[in-house]
């Protein structure tokens, strides 16, 4: 029965899947290879070199943009994960009227096109009279990252045995003590997984940042976009390869933490 439902048995599925993987990942492989190109012309290979990575590390503008990205990503991660944890705990408790609607609203940012979120955030900040800068980027990133942190935590809570909290209550533990001593250690892999997803989403975001960032709030993705407008160089490839490495590391670590068993 299982063999009859195997999609790979249909003619054309395997080559189509392979073509899709090549289309998705071959450009990334080419970018990483060309980041080691000794030639200043990005598409003309003349030899292997680490010079462009050294120039990236010595570029004050790139370092400043990286600092801004890390500040915003760390701040958004802490805030989004905290809000997501509180929301997940509330949604996992006793059922209440409108729970399904609230749950849908928590996941709505994942479905709304990012350009819509960016424009709406910009209009919201302008309506409040806020000056665009690191603070507006932090607020926008926090709101956008909450669903990414919420889903792993919510999934972890759904697999939690409610009798554990009841046992803690029988031992005269209050709600806070139960959360600190029982619930939090059990859902910690989900919390860390959500935090890593929120961090990498914030670190890599371009569209929202481009709209709500003001002067002096340039992040690394926005800076890379500015470099590309002046022409693609191996320096751009090197920065992109470094961001790719960080993204892969955090996504893999997030997946591993989410799969851990207590």
Angle at 69 between CA 249 and CA 205, to 5 degrees: 70
| Residue 255 confidence class, pLDDT cut points 50, 70, 90 | confident
For range 103-125, the mean pLDDT: 87
Express each pLDDT in 132-157 by its tens digit.
889 999 999 999 999 999 988 888 88
pLDDT score of 74: 93
Q: 167-205 burial string, b = 16+ CB within 10 Å, else e?
A: ebeeeebeeeebbeebbeebbebbbbbbbbbbbbbbbbb
| Residue 161 confidence class, pLDDT cut points 50, 70, 90 | low
For range 70-84, the mean pLDDT: 93
* 209 φ/ψ angles, rounded to the nearest 5 degrees: -60, -40
Query: pTM for this structure?
Result: 0.79
Specify the CATH number of the domain 53-259: 1.10.3720.10
Q: What is the mean pLDDT of the chain?
A: 82
Q: Is residue 37 helix, strand or coil?
A: strand
In 27-147, at which residue ranges do the beta strands (DSSP E only) sit? none
Spatial separation of the C-alpha atoms in residues 79 and 138, rounded to whole Å: 9
| Residue 1 confidence class, pLDDT cut points 50, 70, 90 | very low
| Residue 88 confidence class, pLDDT cut points 50, 70, 90 | confident
Residue carrying structure tokens 């500040």: 71
Q: What is the DSSP string of 246-257?
A: HHHHHHHHHHHH
Distant-in-sequence, close-in-space partners of 239: CB < 8 Å, separation ≥ 6: 56, 62, 220, 224, 227
Express each pLDDT in 45-73 by its tens digit.
777 888 888 888 888 888 888 889 999 99
For range 225-238, the mean pLDDT: 78
How many residues are present in the chain?
262
Judge whether residue 125 has pLDDT over 50: yes
Q: Is residue 45 helix, strand or coil?
A: coil
Distant-in-sequence, close-in-space partners of 53: CB < 8 Å, separation ≥ 6: 35, 238, 242
Judge whether residue 262 has pLDDT over 50: no
């Amino acid at each position: 029965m299982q063999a009859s439902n195997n999609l790979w048995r249909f003619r054309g599925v395997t080559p189509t899947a392979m073509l899709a993987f090549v289309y998705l990942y071959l450009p990334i492989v080419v970018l990483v290879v060309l980041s080691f190109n000794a030639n200043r012309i990005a598409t003309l290979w003349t030899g292997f070199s680490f010079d462009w990575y050294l120039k990236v590390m010595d570029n004050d503008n790139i370092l400043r943009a990286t600092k801004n990205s890390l500040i915003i990503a760390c701040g958004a991660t802490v805030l989004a994960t905290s809000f997501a944890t509180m929301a997940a705990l509330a949604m996992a408790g006793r059922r209440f009227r409108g729970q399904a609607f609230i749950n849908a609203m928590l996941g709505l940012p994942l479905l709304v096109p990012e350009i819509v979120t960016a424009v709406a955030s910009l209009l919201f900040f302008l309506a409040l009279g806020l000056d665009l800068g690191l603070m507006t980027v932090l607020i926008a990133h926090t709101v956008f990252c909450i669903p990414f942190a919420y889903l792993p935590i919510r999934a972890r809570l759904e697999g939690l045995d409610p009798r554990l909290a009841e046992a803690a209550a029988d031992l005269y533990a209050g709600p806070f003590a139960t959360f600190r001593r029982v619930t939090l250690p059990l859902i910690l892999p989900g919390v860390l997984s959500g935090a890593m997803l929120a961090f990498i989403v914030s670190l890599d975001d371009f569209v929202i940042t481009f709209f709500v960032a003001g002067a002096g709030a340039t992040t690394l993705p926005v800076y890379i976009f500015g470099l590309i407008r002046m022409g693609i160089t191996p320096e751009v490839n090197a920065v992109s390869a470094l961001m790719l490495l960080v993204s892969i590391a955090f996504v893999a670590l997030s997946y591993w933490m989410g799969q851990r068993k207590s």
